[in-house]
Amino acid sequence: MDTSEKIFSSLIVIVGPTGIGKTALGIALAQTFAGEIVSADSRQIYREMDIGTAKPTPAELAAAPHHLVDVVPPDAVLTLAEFQERAFAIIADIHARGNLPLLVGGTGQWVKAVIEGWGIPRVPPDPALRAQLQAEADTIGAEAFHAKLAAVDPDAAAKLDYRNVRRVIRAMEVFFKTGIPISVHQQKTPPPYRILQIGLTMPREQLYRRIDARIEAMMAAGFLAEVEKLLARGYNLALPSMSGLGYRQLGRHLQGEISLDEAVALTKKETRRFIRQQYNWFRLDDPAIRWIDISVEAAEPVATGLVREFLSSHQSHHQRQRDSTGEGGK
């Protein structure tokens, strides 16, 4: 691949809230444009966790090439830095094969890390330090603990909700291990992609009803049995993987803490809260995202037209680049 081809390589990004239909659209576009899907879903990386993560079905996985699905066991951790590194390598391989990469997922941090080229501190987790910081946060409270981060890294603190204690702990951990604020580590270097972002949305109340129905369908499909099997295999509720929507709630039911109805109701409530967080990552007023309201227009034909136009303008731009360097006449 020559330099100009590398610089102007295309990447299609499909974002939006959970349960909106990103998987189906990604597969349709992959089939139309010789594409390969790179999952940007921080829950679908886990093996043995299929129903609750709404992982693509075997038929869907067979319908288009998928990457970064089922890559680690439930007791492993795939850090943001590791995900980004893998995603960049996979996208490069897809380009080398002459295919179109589609980054598909609703984990905002993961998507942004790739398309904005986040600098991510390569600081491995320090369990002892994290336990110490967690104990401190528990003792003084989340707001006071967040204030301690603000004293050493105001830029990071300004971006982090004090209630997200896990991320505040990570920022403090990086500072203590390196002496450099995490906000400095996180300076961005945009990747060499020409990016089209497509977002799927619908009115919030309609989406909430759709999510409620989806959770009921998951329960009917055996979600409770999936969680029971994971617990029986020794995967405890404190694992990061088990913090996924529904897993911890159903786990609490299986441990006798709450009723099944309460667990399902909590799952629906937490999913709605998660959707609100996703819209903070992917804002409806972001001019870089071409939003499709699926309540008023079908996603597939609109998205297909957008991608076709985008690739056509890419080819025209690349031809102009070749002509300007004299390569077009060779």
Domains and CATH numbers, the chain: 3-119+188-313 (3.40.50.300), 127-185 (1.10.20.140)
Please calculate the CA angle 119-124-128 and round it to the nearest 5 degrees: 135
Residue 327: predicted pLDDT:
52
Checking if the pLDDT of 319 tops 60, the result is no
The mean pLDDT of 179-186, rounded to a whole number, is 87
- CA–CA separation, 302 and 293 (whole Å): 10
Among 77-81, 95-99, 184-188, 307-311, which stretch is predicted with the lowest mean pLDDT? 184-188
Q: How confident is the model at residue 2 (pLDDT cuts 50, 70, 90)?
A: very low
Residue 322: predicted pLDDT:
53
Residue 3: predicted pLDDT:
34
3 state SS of 38: strand
pLDDT over 70, % of the chain: 92
Among 50-54, 119-123, 151-155, which stretch is predicted with the lowest mean pLDDT? 119-123
What would the pLDDT profile of 114-124 be if each residue is shown by its tens digit?
Answer: 999 999 888 88
Q: What is the mean pLDDT of the chain?
A: 92
The mean pLDDT of 2-15, rounded to a whole number, is 68
Residue 330: predicted pLDDT:
42
Cβ(293)–Cβ(202) under 8 Å? Answer: yes
The mean pLDDT of 311-324, rounded to a whole number, is 62
- CA–CA separation, 198 and 96 (whole Å): 24
- Strands 35-39 vs 193-201: parallel, antiparallel or unpaired: unpaired
What would the pLDDT profile of 25-46 be if each residue is shown by its tens digit?
Answer: 999 999 999 999 999 999 999 9
